[in-house]
């Protein structure tokens, strides 16, 4: 897997200060995409142990609330094995930090067994994500007033009842999903 960018002080992609990894590869090709260079799976640099160490180090300070995965498309099947391992190590090392993930796929249609990009790594990834922002970016539904989303079709879904800490509750629109992946 390649990655396009690593931000160590990101305040745009989830609540609080975050470390964010932009992975390479995306088949959605949304019109008006904010990051079209990442469509190419070969774009950027190979994700290796050195980058993972950088992420772990950047997550250390108390002021960092969590980690965000975006792209590109984290749930492209080619990216899932590497990311499932990374998320597990982050979750183990920093159990109190939250993990957010942006995907152009639809949570309850594409990421469930039999879904378009469901693999053996999909549930392990989802089991370590606190909040998923799903759906393609649809330019005609673009709304700059939305919190942490680009277009109004996209949803903030708190997995397993996740709520951001009270003092950082900017994402008041968070939904709690009641269907899909019932085994998790
Ligand atoms: S899913 Fe995200 S990265 Fe992929 S084309 Fe759409 S907006 Fe761009």
Residue spans per domain, the chain: 1-110
At 29, phi and psi to the nearest 5? 50, 50
What length does the chain have? Answer: 184
* Ligand 1 centroid from CA 61, angstroms: 30
Is 24:41 a contact under the CB 8 Å cutoff?
yes
Q: Domain 1-110's class?
A: alpha beta
Query: In tens digits, what is the pLDDT along the chain, a chain of 184 residues?
Result: 999 999 999 999 998 999 999 999 999 999 999 999 999 999 999 999 999 999 999 999 999 999 999 999 999 999 999 999 999 999 999 999 999 999 999 998 999 999 999 999 999 999 999 999 999 999 999 998 888 889 999 988 888 777 655 544 444 456 655 434 433 3
Q: Is 48 left (phi over 0), alpha (psi -120 to 50) or beta?
A: beta
Residue of 22, 72, 111 with the most ligand 1 atoms within 8 Å of its CB, for mutation:
72
């Amino acid at each position: 897997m390649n990655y396009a960018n690593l931000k160590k002080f990101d305040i745009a992609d989830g609540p609080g200060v975050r470390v964010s990894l932009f992975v390479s590869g995306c088949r959605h090709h949304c019109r008006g995409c904010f990051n079209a260079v990442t469509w190419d799976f070969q774009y950027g640099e190979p994700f290796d142990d050195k980058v993972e160490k950088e992420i772990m180090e950047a997550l250390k300070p108390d002021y960092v609330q969590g980690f965000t995965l975006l792209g590109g498309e984290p749930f492209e099947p080619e990216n899932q094995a590497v990311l499932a391992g990374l998320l597990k190590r982050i979750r183990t090392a920093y159990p109190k930090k939250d993990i957010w993930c942006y995907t152009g796929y639809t949570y309850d249609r594409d990421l469930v067994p039999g879904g378009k990009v469901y693999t053996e790594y999909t549930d392990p990834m989802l089991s370590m994500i606190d909040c998923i922002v799903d759906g393609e970016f649809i330019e005609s539904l673009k709304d700059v007033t939305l919190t942490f989303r680009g277009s109004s079709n996209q949803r903030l879904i708190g997995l397993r009842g996740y709520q951001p800490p009270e003092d950082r509750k900017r994402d008041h629109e968070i939904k709690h999903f009641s269907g899909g992946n019932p085994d998790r």
